[in-house]
Amino acid sequence: MATVHVDNQRYEMDDKQNLLQACLQLKMDLPYFCWHPAMGSVGACRQCAVKQFKDESDQHGKIVMACMTPVTEGARISIQDAEAVEFRAAVIEGLMINHPHDCPVCDEGGECHLQDMTVMTGHNYRRYAFEKRTFRNQNLGPFLNHEMNRCIQCYRCVRFYREYAGGNDLNAFALRNIVFFGRDKDGVLENEFAGNLVEVCPTGVFTDKTLKQHYTRKWDLQMAPSVCVHCAVGCNITAAERYGMLRRLVNRYNGEVNGYFLCDRGRFGYEFVNSQRRIRKPLRHGQPVGLEDARAGLRKLAAGGAIGIGSPRASLESNFALRSLVGADYFFAGIPGREAALLKLMLEILGNGPAPAASLREIEHSDAVLVLGEDVTNVAPRMALSLRQAVRQQPMEIAERLRIPLWMDHAVREAVQDEKGPLFIAAASATRLDDVAAATFRGAPDDIARLGFAVAQALDPAAPGPEDLPGQTRELAARIAAALKGAKRPLIVSGPSLGSAAIIQAAANVAWALAGAHLAFTAAEANSMGLAMMEAPALDAAQAATAETAIIVENDLYRRLPAAEVDQLLARFGHVVVLDHLENATTAKAELLIPAATFAEGEGTLMSSEGRLQRFFAALSPTEPVEPSWRLLGGWNTLDEIIRALAEAMPQLAAVREAAPAASFRMEAAKIPRQPHRYSGRTSMLANISVHEPKPPQDADSPLSFSMEGNPKQPPGALQPFFWTPGWNSYQAVNKFQEEIAGRLEAGDPGVPMFASGGGGHAFFNAIPAAFEARAGEWLLAPLFHIYGSEELSREAPAVAELGPQPYVALNPEDAAQFGDEVELMGQRFRVSRIAELPRGVAGIPAGVPPFAGLELPAWSKIQPIQ
């Protein structure tokens, strides 16, 4: 720490920081553009200028950029100094010369950092009297709108896109006051994190194209703290509503999880909530019925004897409500046996093994990583962004040796150049992280597991290893082991994606053979881990169950099992009741179909792949008859009631109570408003229906209110709907809510991590599979994951669907040589995709893409030429 005087006031500042960050951390207002809390300083915009004085007697001082000046003991600076104030106003004036001043028609208006900073510096009178420069905008795909005339050349976009996220199709072109930020030609931005430019851009150059289709100003949005449902990572989001429609999602800062960034599937997948295929009314035999009628029917059928099939995309509460309704013996996890076993294995490893589960923050700070059997970018996308930062950890020591402060981003990158820390990726095919990997290994699932076992044995001779490993693989294992051993914070990433227990066991062995290693598992869906914690038998067991009725909650069984098996299963029951959001093959089989709330309309708790219990809250006001499944299933009036029952019935999930404060929680006797205090139209927005202002809906399930009334102070992290503070209308307001910049939220990072400390000792796994052998005429079908297309709900969002793949069969070019451009698989024709990275004997098919969605993979299958 260092003592620094700011405008003659004495402060303690962290001497590892720069003055801008330190001032912001002390909640001072100092404007900036190019600095970003996750990306550090580059000194481009010159907006954060302050006056620095040599000592107490120095009356003149000099202008310095706060972001480029380290905090030093005894430093004296002034933010209020007249010259500094004039300089900062001049910078804004310079930035605004070419800006179109089109705030009224700009989507950023009302949450624009440029607006905020302009107001903060006091620049308002225009002196520039010449023409403005203009650009031609580009079509960048379905996610982002491009309006370059608004650009202020802060370079944040290219820094994020290229340097942070590893993209290369967005660049800065030309120079002086005509720098163009875009692609070399129109086209979809390739990087999976491009959507973050919406928040990274301080003004309206990159805005949310999906929001544009149903645009609403930020101040008119009713917002709720929520959790992304499009994978198991558990990124925190703010869901935003107006007029009963989910308008958009933005990032919600969680220092331990997603920090400042989301993936594009998470950000843009939300439109399934607004889909035309939503189930909006209860239906019996396809005919609309009233909700009470439907619920009575449900109760009656349940009383007559029913099994319940839960879901990894339904909340703990909804699964528990179903389990309670049908009885524990009749409750089945809605996932196939193999997946259930893999999840159970992962829980066993995290719960009882010595290696703790890594949060995304810990992943980001890992200095050596082995990825075993996962295509992280396409399965757990946000985790891949963290891994991309992890490879910078070891090389950062170069900068430290040169005494370059780590926040000095470009100086660090110039010193480090292309040096990368050790990241090893063993996967079935190429992955989007290969460009930063020290080495990659391609193999069939069994061979990936064998490599993992060999690494574990190289680390600890007590761990079992494969006998007959090829020399090259053994050398690679030794190299990986050496890199992990030499690391301070090693990490093993693995998961169930390739359907292999051996891979997961090998990953555990590696982690356990190392002191201080963390494990990061992926999982398929938002609550896969939570469902597994409920220890229910798998879907396969339901095939033997006897009951009159099957009640299926938020689960399209046709994505779990082959269609014939599902048909067979459902045929066993006299009545099929389905609760879900969207029409699908399973809802088509329902005698009684009841609309279930999505994450945006209800609340509940999810357990992420890290083992973090996180609560999401409704952003949309309750609209009959759409209710969360747990309420529809009956027995509980409020969320707190069911949570209490759940915690009592399942001690392993008792911590669910701590995921967020109970509904009775108050901030100084007041609720927490979902609407900003500037929310407009309250008295008039429904005047076409009634001129009487309706009473705001009551929320008995949370401490949040569906109105602008309430306490605007900072609530506990799990309850914070949005970040706003006077003068800071953009997302950058988050600075004001953190303990330290880019650190923990002052009111606590949301979520209860269940496996953060690691358990006791655990014996090494020793079931090492035999080496993979290709077969003649048959291929091992392995899933290839797609960020856009493999996940069920986001497939229903038009923008995401646009980027998804058509079904294909991928083969190694040598294997494909015997076929033409199409092959026959399972009696259907498919396009052949030739992928050199795919091992021979393995055929890749797109995971979750019909007609492959219900296949349990990997599986052997014949592939034939087209007759």
Partner 1 sequence: MPDDKPLTGNMRSDGVALDLKAYERAGGYEGLRKALGGMTPAAVIEEVKDSNLRGRGGAGFPTGLKWSFIPDKAPHPRYVVANGDEMEPGTFKDRILVELDPHQLVEGMILAGYATGADIGYAFLRGEYTVGAERVARAIAEAYEAGYLGKDILHSGYSFEIYLHLSAGRYMCGEETGLLNALEGKRANPRAKPPFPPASGLFGKPTTINNVETLCNVPHIIRNGAGWYRGLSRSKDGGTKIYGASGKVKRPGLWELPMGTTIREIIEEHAGGMRDGLQLRGLLPGGASTDFLTGEHLDAPMDFAGVQSVGSRLGTGTMIILDDKTCPVGMVSNLEHFFSQESCGWCTPCWSGLGWAERILRAMEEGRGKPGDLEKLAFQARFWAPGHTFCALAPGAAEPLQSALKHFRADFERHIDEKRCPWK
Among positions 10, 60, 176, 285, the unique one binding partner 1 when judged by CB under 8 A: 176
Among positions 10, 60, 127, 695, the unique one binding partner 1 when judged by CB under 8 A: 127
Closest CA to 372 of 256, 456, 472: 456
Among positions 4, 45, 363, 536, the unique one binding partner 1 when judged by CB under 8 A: 45
Q: How far is the CB of 63 from partner 1 (least distance, A)?
A: 6
DSSP designation for 656: G
Q: How far is the CB of 205 from partner 1 (least distance, A)?
A: 15
Residue placing its CB nearer to partner 1 in the complex, 62 or 677: 62
- Region of residue 424 (left: phi > 0; alpha: psi -120 to 50; beta: else): beta
The H-or-E segment that residue 256 falls in is none
Answer yes or no whether residue 285 interacts with partner 1 by CB under 8 A. no
Residue placing its CB nearer to partner 1 in the complex, 91 or 542: 91
Residue placing its CB nearer to partner 1 in the complex, 16 or 572: 16
Are the C-beta atoms of residues 749 and 257 closer than 8 Å to each other? Answer: yes
Answer yes or no whether residue 414 interacts with partner 1 by CB under 8 A. yes
Answer yes or no whether residue 44 interacts with partner 1 by CB under 8 A. yes
Answer yes or no whether residue 396 interacts with partner 1 by CB under 8 A. no
Q: How far is the CB of 149 from partner 1 (least distance, A)?
A: 15
Among positions 26, 38, 63, 120, the unique one binding partner 1 when judged by CB under 8 A: 63
Are the C-beta atoms of residues 605 and 321 closer than 8 Å to each other? Answer: no
The H-or-E segment that residue 158 falls in is helix 156-158
CA 541/CA 205 separation, integer angstroms? 53
Q: How far is the CB of 422 from partner 1 (least distance, A)?
A: 19
DSSP designation for 162: I
Q: What is the dihedral of CA 282, 287, 290, 294, to 10 degrees?
A: -60
Can you read off the two tokens belonging to residue 247?
């308008």
Of residues 141-170, those binding partner 1 (CB under 8 A): 152-153, 155
CA 290/CA 288 separation, integer angstroms? 7
Answer yes or no whether residue 400 interacts with partner 1 by CB under 8 A. no
Number of chain residues interacting with partner 1 (CB under 8 A): 43
Among positions 82, 129, 564, 691, the unique one binding partner 1 when judged by CB under 8 A: 129
Residue placing its CB nearer to partner 1 in the complex, 93 or 837: 93
Q: How many CB atoms lie within 10 A of CB 567?
A: 14
Answer yes or no whether residue 94 interacts with partner 1 by CB under 8 A. yes
Residue placing its CB nearer to partner 1 in the complex, 151 or 578: 151
Answer yes or no whether residue 245 interacts with partner 1 by CB under 8 A. no
Phi, psi (rounded to 5 degrees) for 423: -130, 120
Q: How far is the CB of 91 from partner 1 (least distance, A)?
A: 5
Give, to the nearest 10 degrees, the angle between helix 639-649 and helix 316-326.
Answer: 70
Phi, psi (rounded to 5 degrees) for 811: -135, 155
CA 377/CA 370 separation, integer angstroms? 15
Answer yes or no whether residue 128 interacts with partner 1 by CB under 8 A. yes
Residue placing its CB nearer to partner 1 in the complex, 49 or 502: 49
Among positions 87, 215, 665, 819, the unique one binding partner 1 when judged by CB under 8 A: 87
Residue placing its CB nearer to partner 1 in the complex, 131 or 467: 131
- Region of residue 402 (left: phi > 0; alpha: psi -120 to 50; beta: else): alpha
Can you read off the two tokens belonging to residue 202?
């301080």
Answer yes or no whether residue 77 interacts with partner 1 by CB under 8 A. no
Are the C-beta atoms of residues 611 and 754 closer than 8 Å to each other? Answer: yes
Site stretch for partner 1 (CB under 8 A), options 128-136, 423-431, 453-461, 546-554: 128-136
**x/- track of binding to partner 1 for residues 473-512 (CB under 8 A):** ----------------------------------------
Answer yes or no whether residue 774 interacts with partner 1 by CB under 8 A. no
Q: What pairs with residue 40 in β-bridges?
A: 36
Q: How far is the CB of 140 from partner 1 (least distance, A)?
A: 21
Site stretch for partner 1 (CB under 8 A), options 123-131, 233-241, 637-645, 733-741: 123-131
Closest CA to 524 of 313, 310, 231: 231
Can you read off the two tokens belonging to residue 721?
């709907």
Q: How far is the CB of 354 from partner 1 (least distance, A)?
A: 38
Can you read off the two tokens belonging to residue 641?
């009631």
Residue placing its CB nearer to partner 1 in the complex, 414 or 821: 414
CA 720/CA 225 separation, integer angstroms? 6
Q: How far is the CB of 190 from partner 1 (least distance, A)?
A: 21
Q: How far is CA 23 from the centre of its chain?
A: 30
DSSP designation for 707: S
Answer yes or no whether residue 68 interacts with partner 1 by CB under 8 A. yes
Q: How far is the CB of 98 from partner 1 (least distance, A)?
A: 8
Angstrom CA distances, 220 to 678, 679, 680, 698, stand at 7, 5, 6, 19
Residue placing its CB nearer to partner 1 in the complex, 91 or 659: 91
Phi, psi (rounded to 5 degrees) for 435: -65, -20
Answer yes or no whether residue 43 interacts with partner 1 by CB under 8 A. yes
Q: How far is the CB of 46 from partner 1 (least distance, A)?
A: 5
Residue with tokens 């969207």: 582
User: How far from each other are the two terminal CA atoms of the chain, in whole angstroms?
Assistant: 76
Site stretch for partner 1 (CB under 8 A), options 21-29, 385-393, 400-408, 666-674: 400-408
Among positions 26, 38, 64, 747, the unique one binding partner 1 when judged by CB under 8 A: 64
Among positions 55, 57, 104, 130, the unique one binding partner 1 when judged by CB under 8 A: 130
Residue placing its CB nearer to partner 1 in the complex, 50 or 754: 50
Answer yes or no whether residue 857 interacts with partner 1 by CB under 8 A. no
CA contacts within 13 A on the Cβ side of 244: 10
Answer yes or no whether residue 404 interacts with partner 1 by CB under 8 A. yes
Quick check: helix, strand or coil at residue 568? helix
Answer yes or no whether residue 49 interacts with partner 1 by CB under 8 A. yes
Residue placing its CB nearer to partner 1 in the complex, 129 or 689: 129
Answer yes or no whether residue 328 interacts with partner 1 by CB under 8 A. no
Q: How far is the CB of 421 from partner 1 (least distance, A)?
A: 15
Answer yes or no whether residue 62 interacts with partner 1 by CB under 8 A. yes
Among positions 22, 39, 50, 91, the unique one binding partner 1 when judged by CB under 8 A: 91
Answer yes or no whether residue 200 interacts with partner 1 by CB under 8 A. no
3-state DSSP helix/strand/coil % of the chain, to nearest 5: 30, 20, 50
Site stretch for partner 1 (CB under 8 A), options 36-44, 73-81, 234-242, 857-865: 36-44
For 110-136, b/e burial (b = at least 16 CB within 10 A) is bbbbbbbbbebbebeeeeeeeeeeebe
Residue placing its CB nearer to partner 1 in the complex, 173 or 860: 173
Residue placing its CB nearer to partner 1 in the complex, 175 or 691: 175
Q: How many CB atoms lie within 10 A of CB 818?
A: 11
Phi, psi (rounded to 5 degrees) for 399: -65, -40
Residue with tokens 């430290």: 400
Q: How far is the CB of 94 from partner 1 (least distance, A)?
A: 3
Site stretch for partner 1 (CB under 8 A), options 42-50, 370-378, 758-766, 844-852: 42-50
Quick check: helix, strand or coil at residue 12? strand
Give, to the nearest 10 degrees, the angle between helix 337-352 and helix 501-513.
Answer: 10
CA 798/CA 794 separation, integer angstroms? 8
Q: How far is the CB of 65 from partner 1 (least distance, A)?
A: 9
Which residues contact partner 1 (rule: CB under 8 A)? Answer: 42-47, 49, 62-64, 68, 87, 90-91, 94-95, 97-98, 127-130, 152-153, 155, 172, 174-179, 398, 402-404, 408, 410-411, 414-417
